[in-house]
Chain A
Amino acid sequence: MPKELRATAAWRISIWTTLAFALGTAVAFSIVYFLVAQGLRERSDTWLTGEAETLAQVSADTPSDHLYKRIVREVAELATQEVPDERNARGERLNSVFFLATDPNNSESPLWVGPSSEDAFVTAIRRSKLVPGAPKSIAVDGLRETFRVVVKAQNGRTVYLGLSDRGATRMLHRLAGRFLMVWGGMFVLGFLISYWSARRTLLRVERITETVARIGTEDLEERLPEPVNSDEISRLAKTFNRMLDRLQSSVNQLRTVTGAVAHDLKSPVTLIRGTLESALCDEGNEKWRDSVGEAIEGLDRLSQLLNTTLDLAEAEAGALHLDRRPVDFSDVVRQLVDIYQPAMAERQHELTANLEEHVVVDADVTLLNRAVSNLLENELTHLPAGCRVEIRLHSRQGSAEMVIQDNGPGFPPDIVSGAFKRFVKGEHSPGHGLGLAFVDAVAQGHGGVARISGHAGSGAVITLSLPVHVLQAVAT
């Protein structure tokens, strides 16, 4: 049994319904079985009682002469003929009935009509302490079936009449056998039908899930097909569509707002920057040059912060425009390592890269560049001088995993859980706390994940995993 099948809701639903169905039918059958068994017993008891009375009468009325035994025996044998199924398919007598008449006043041997193993019956009867008038089942040594026995006492003579339960047992066995056959059939058929219908229904849910997952990462324009009928699943699709409408409108609103904020804030910054730059180019104001340069650098930091904040706002709302193409992740990391290597060396850090070749991801190259460069910036800003930083990249089970690890002081314990949140940063961190939040948002936008591990004091480990490009995923 494939594991995926067992994990489906359709499988569980059909198992439970089939079990409930099987249990219900089993209970219903038990009741029927019990009623039939009772009916059969009543029928045999009525026959036994009636016949025993007749035989007792005959036995009482017949004088105890030398003919007594012959007369009573014949009457008893006649009675046994009335029993159905007395002869089997080959015509042999099955001895379903026995008859025993005793006379306590008479020492002669009792009168016995029935199977040849008389002694076994007599022992069984003695053992079971029969009360006149109440039929009782007794087990006879050497025989499988029990015998139903009724006692009648008249004129000092006691008459025992026994009827084998074989007929009733056979009938009940046949009934149970048939039921088991039908029950098994119903079990299999019921399971198949409920599995089929549950699967059919849940496949519609599955399609909704797939569509919504695709909409979530790619395009908010798409909608689920809304079927004409209005069952629960159609209502689910409709509800999702309404939700997507709202989501789309708030994303659009956010884009409008971030656009407007960017425009309104950046126009003055552009103007100030341009003016300062023109002032810088003027010859003759040497003594202002450093101050003006510093002001420009400050403005650049401001607009950088502004950009990152706006990007992050969009990224966290899933409103980033992703221009996804196959990108050689290995190349991106190698280039960035090249760029950061000298700055790392200047702080006596040892930066090593261990990159698997040609790990291709479906990514927006601008965002990927910035995410990886944010991670390197992070190392550069937070590590005390003279640390080791290692970047590893490899593809594993359909995902490209980049690990950046250092042997610095690690993340302060109070920010580990929230390091990917906006503005969460260490107490003494010089950054603004947006870098890692942006990395996380980019990872999520690409259907990947960013993780932090490592404890305070043992270095920081950040893992960025992204799904690899489809063709490469197939090839490996």
Chain B
Amino acid sequence: MDWREVPMRLLLVEDDVSIQQFLKRALVEAGYLVDAASTAKAGEAMALEGIHDAFIIDLGLPDLDGLDLIARCRAQGSSAPVLILSARRSVDERVKGLEQGGDDYLTKPFALPELLARLRNLIRRSAVPQNESMRLQAADLQLDLVRREARRGEQLLQLTPQEFALLEYLCRNEGRVVTRTMILDHVWRMRIDPATNVVDVHIYRLRSKVDHDTPRPLIHTIRGVGYVLKYA
């Protein structure tokens, strides 16, 4: 993918130094160049250089509210998409407003795969739209997105529309971990946080069809994080 070849540059504004460090490490590992700032003032100065492809901004900054920082950057012509990190909950009205403005938010604590997924989405949204493929392929799994058919090798899989949507989502993120929250959000458009194993049951059912009778399973559980589709 091209964004790996020309590394994206991110600005991370987070006042908690430990969180800032582990985030920076995770983002660098994911292939981004990261500038980090601990205060809104420093963040604003960096943002105005205009060299960043996206901002990750914590709302609870010591010197200025994160939302005000975004407003100031916007007022001075910075147009990079923003991913908000918020300790506030999803019911917060101001955070919701941002989501509608094309930016995105993530409530703490978050799963790293989700942070990375949202970041990718943000950057892709602001870039030129790619050609949507009609087919998806992962190892010997093939998905025909027009006819809504999935094949494992030569075998046609009997999937319900939901199972197909779930498999498509896993397939699009081949090799990347997706969390339960991400699955609910993308497959069902629901931002809920069930305490029971509702998502797991969907995955078990899908797995019983996709990885049935095969020595090389595709769908793997990452305990504590989520699921990943890949050849082990």
Judged by a CB distance under 8 angstroms, whether A292 is at the interface is yes
Is B19 touching A343 in the complex (CB atoms < 8 A)?
A: no
Q: How far is the CA of A325 from the CA of B196 in the complex (A)?
A: 29
Is B184 touching A290 in the complex (CB atoms < 8 A)?
A: no
Is A274 touching B22 in the complex (CB atoms < 8 A)?
A: yes
Judged by a CB distance under 8 angstroms, whether A1 is at the interface is no
Q: Which of A270-319 contact B (CB under 8 A)?
A: 270-278, 280, 289-290, 292-297, 299-301, 303-304, 307, 310-311, 314
Cβ contacts under 8 Å, A266 to chain B: 87, 108-109
Interface centre among B19, B107, B108, B197 (most CB of A within 10 A): B108
1/0 per residue, CB under 8 A from B, across A327-368: the answer is 000000001101110110110000000000000000010110
1/0 per residue, CB under 8 A from A, across B159-199: the answer is 00010000000000000000000001000111111111111
B24 CB to nearest A CB, Å: 11
Is B91 touching A311 in the complex (CB atoms < 8 A)?
A: yes
B23 CB to nearest A CB, Å: 7
Q: How far is the CA of A383 from the CA of B190 in the complex (A)?
A: 24
Judged by a CB distance under 8 angstroms, whether A267 is at the interface is yes
Is A267 touching B16 in the complex (CB atoms < 8 A)?
A: yes
Contact partner, B191, options A278, A311, A369, Cβ 8 Å: A369
Judged by a CB distance under 8 angstroms, whether B155 is at the interface is no
Is B111 touching A277 in the complex (CB atoms < 8 A)?
A: yes
Taking Cβ atoms with an 8 Å cutoff, the residues of A that contact B are 259, 262-263, 266-267, 269-278, 280, 289-290, 292-297, 299-301, 303-304, 307, 310-311, 314, 320-323, 335-336, 338-340, 342-343, 345-346, 364, 366-367, 369-370, 373, 377, 380-381, 431
Is B196 touching A381 in the complex (CB atoms < 8 A)?
A: yes
Q: How far is the CA of A311 from the CA of B193 in the complex (A)?
A: 13
Interface centre among B26, B197, B201 (most CB of A within 10 A): B201
26 CB-based A-B contacts, threshold 8 Å: A259-B88, A262-B87, A262-B88, A263-B60, A263-B88, A266-B109, A267-B16, A270-B110, A271-B19, A280-B222, A293-B223, A297-B224, A304-B193, A314-B91, A321-B94, A323-B93, A339-B184, A342-B205, A345-B201, A364-B91, A366-B90, A367-B91, A373-B192, A377-B196, A380-B196, A381-B195
Residue of A nearest to B192 (CB): A373
1/0 per residue, CB under 8 A from A, across B195-215: the answer is 111110110010000000000
Interface size on B, residues (CB 8 A): 44
Contact partner, B198, options A274, A342, A367, Cβ 8 Å: A342
Residue of A nearest to B19 (CB): A271
Cβ contacts under 8 Å, B108 to chain A: 266-267, 269-270, 303
B52 CB to nearest A CB, Å: 22
**What does DSSP make chain B's interface, helix, strand, loop or mixed?**
loop
Q: How far is the CA of A273 from the CA of B107 in the complex (A)?
A: 13
Cβ contacts under 8 Å, A267 to chain B: 16, 19, 87, 108
Residue of B nearest to A264 (CB): B87
A251 CB to nearest B CB, Å: 13
A377-B91 contact given A294-B224, A338-B188, CB 8 Å threshold:
no
Contact partner, B190, options A262, A277, A278, A339, Cβ 8 Å: A339
Cβ contacts under 8 Å, B109 to chain A: 266, 269-270, 272-274, 299-300, 303
Q: Which of B104-139 contact A (CB under 8 A)?
A: 107-112
Is A274 touching B96 in the complex (CB atoms < 8 A)?
A: no
B103 CB to nearest A CB, Å: 16
Is B198 touching A277 in the complex (CB atoms < 8 A)?
A: no
Contact partner, A274, options B89, B112, B184, B196, Cβ 8 Å: B112
Is B224 touching A321 in the complex (CB atoms < 8 A)?
A: no
Cβ contacts under 8 Å, B16 to chain A: 267, 270-271
- List the 3 shortest-distance A-B pairs measured between CB atoms, nearest first: A293-B223, A293-B224, A296-B224
